[in-house]
């Protein structure tokens, strides 16, 4: 959807505008939260919060750029009462570059918080990270192609990207199943929830990607509703998959820290006493 944007009603334009603005705020706030919450965790689990913080920082930056790109791509035509494309590029590459950096990090977060032995951790994180990057790279040519049909460019690259996607899910639901079973009840429930949130949010992206395939003739220049739905859909999924998921990872790390005898209040007392 590079240059051929459709004309939008003010309601459609503003919905996307406000969603981008909300996401910049959410990612920034999540960054502050993850950095500050780090101290509540046993040192071993702090790295997973740093990875969460990196993910939302990268996303905050990209949403800021996406937001500016959206503003530049449209101008209000007052006579018509509609937002018309200015001819400036609405750059979808920001979204894909963001995913390319953050999606492998999200898989690393999950591996780190599981507290696996070192020799299992590295190879698993590398494998999941590589598959995640491959999934994003393969999706991009279809996203920016003008041919949105199921058996055309969008469908072909979407299919190729689904292969690493399914592979990741397979690893998460088979290999990691045993590791999750080995944890205490509380932690295994939390890890199970994180995995389900990952499935629910990640599953949303290929569905959003398929929306234009329903209207390949008119997409994108004559399909304002589809363009808006795609942007809003990806944005909601990003907030849940990054900030929401990071909070779940925090809860897991906190539960594990407590089980391993780390007590935040004891740590805080000496500082409070000197104050």
Residue 253 C-beta: closest distance to ligand RET, Å: 19
- Give SS3 for 240: helix
Q: Which of 209, 205, 194, 207 is nearest to 245 (CA)?
A: 194
Residue 151 C-beta: closest distance to ligand RET, Å: 15
Residue number with the smallest Cβ distance to ligand RET: 139
Of 106 and 228, which has the nearer Cβ to ligand RET? 106
Asked, as a colleague might, if the bond just before 220 is cis with ω within 30 of 0, I would say yes
Residue 18 C-beta: closest distance to ligand RET, Å: 20
CB 128 within 8 A of CB 107: yes
Residue 7 C-beta: closest distance to ligand RET, Å: 26
Q: Which of 125, 120, 116, 105 is nearest to 52 (CA)?
A: 105
In this structure, how many other beta carbons lie within 10 angstroms of the beta carbon of residue 81? 9
**d(C-alpha 9, C-alpha 13), whole Å:** 6
Q: Which of 86, 84, 91 is nearest to 224 (CA)?
A: 84
Residue 8 C-beta: closest distance to ligand RET, Å: 23
Residue 22 C-beta: closest distance to ligand RET, Å: 15
Beta-carbon-side half-sphere exposure of residue 139 (alpha carbons within 13 Å): 24
Per CB under 6 A, residues contacting ligand RET are 99, 102-103, 106, 135-136, 139, 158, 161-162, 165, 202, 205-206, 209, 238, 241-242
Of 236 and 264, which has the nearer Cβ to ligand RET? 236
**d(C-alpha 92, C-alpha 95), whole Å:** 5
**d(C-alpha 240, C-alpha 202), whole Å:** 10
CB contact set of 271 (below 8 Å; sequence gap of 6+): none
For residue 127, which phi and psi values (nearest 5 degrees)?
Answer: -65, -50
Structure tokens at 133: 């990057």
Of 41 and 238, which has the nearer Cβ to ligand RET? 238
Residue 201 C-beta: closest distance to ligand RET, Å: 6
Structure tokens at 179: 């590791």
């Amino acid at each position: 959807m590079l240059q051929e944007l459709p004309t939008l009603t003010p309601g459609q334009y503003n919905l996307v505008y406000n969603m981008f603005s909300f996401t910049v705020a959410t990612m920034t706030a999540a960054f502050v939260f993850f950095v500050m919450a780090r101290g509540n965790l046993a040192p071993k689990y702090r790295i997973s919060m740093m990875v969460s913080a990196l993910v939302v920082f990268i996303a905050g930056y990209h949403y800021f750029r996406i937001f500016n790109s959206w503003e530049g791509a449209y101008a209000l035509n007052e006579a018509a009462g509609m937002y018309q494309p200015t001819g400036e590029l609405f750059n979808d590459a920001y979204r894909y570059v963001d995913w390319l950096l953050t999606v492998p990090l999200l898989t690393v977060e999950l591996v780190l918080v599981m507290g696996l032995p070192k020799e299992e951790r590295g190879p698993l994180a590398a494998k999941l990270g590589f598959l995640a990057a491959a999934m994003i790279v393969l999706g991009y040519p279809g996203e920016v192609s003008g041919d949105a049909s199921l058996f055309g460019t969008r469908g072909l690259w979407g299919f190729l990207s689904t292969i690493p996607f399914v592979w990741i899910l397979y690893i998460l639901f088979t290999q990691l199943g045993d590791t999750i079973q080995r944890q205490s009840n509380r932690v295994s429930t939390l890890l199970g929830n994180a995995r389900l949130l990952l499935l629910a949010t990640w599953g949303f992206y290929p569905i959003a990607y398929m929306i234009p395939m329903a209207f390949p003739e008119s997409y994108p220049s004559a399909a304002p509703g589809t363009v808006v739905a795609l942007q809003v859909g990806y944005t909601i999924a990003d907030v849940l998959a990054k900030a929401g998921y990071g909070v779940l990872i925090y809860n897991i790390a906190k539960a594990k820290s407590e089980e391993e005898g780390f007590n935040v209040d004891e740590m805080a007392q000496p500082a409070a006493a000197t104050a």
